[in-house]
């Protein structure tokens, strides 16, 4: 995985985009439900990688391949895998959130719990 097929966005950029009007963004969190119970950001859709078989076949019906899509996980590894998969499915504007929700908690909003 080279990472050249998709972009990256910092948690600071994410916070700015969320503070503006995120209506044009598709926000995906690939973490597990138990992780979301600890910490999550509003307006993200949860598509856990472990449940890939349940949501992968209709991802093009649930999401628009043309819309800007930002993907979040704990540190940025699983979200990078998801970004690469989305690109392989024809998504053209995909960005990994660098550092994941952990970096968001450290650099943007310390009220978001760390785990």
Which residues are annotated as catalytic?
A: 73
Q: Is the sign of the CA dihedral 56, 60, 61, 62 positive or negative? A: positive
Taking only Cα atoms into account, the Rg of the chain, rounded to an integer number of angstroms, comes to: 13
Give residue for tokens 């499915």. 89
Contact 63, 115 (CB under 8 A): no
Q: Residue 79 and residue 63: Cα distance in Å, rounded?
A: 16
> What residues form DSSP beta bridges with 9?
97
User: Helix, strand, or coil here: 98?
Assistant: coil
């Amino acid at each position: 995985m080279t990472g050249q097929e998709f972009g990256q966005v910092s948690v600071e950029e994410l916070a700015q985009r969320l503070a503006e009007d995120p209506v044009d963004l598709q926000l995906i969190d690939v973490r597990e439900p138990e992780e979301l119970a600890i910490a999550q950001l509003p307006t993200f859709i949860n598509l856990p990688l472990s449940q890939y078989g349940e949501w992968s076949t209709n991802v093009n019906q649930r999401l628009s391949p043309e819309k800007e899509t930002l993907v979040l996980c704990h540190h940025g590894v699983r979200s990078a895998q998801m970004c690469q998969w989305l690109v392989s499915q024809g998504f053209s504007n995909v960005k990994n959130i660098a550092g994941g929700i952990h970096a968001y908690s450290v650099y943007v909003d310390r009220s978001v719990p760390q785990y």
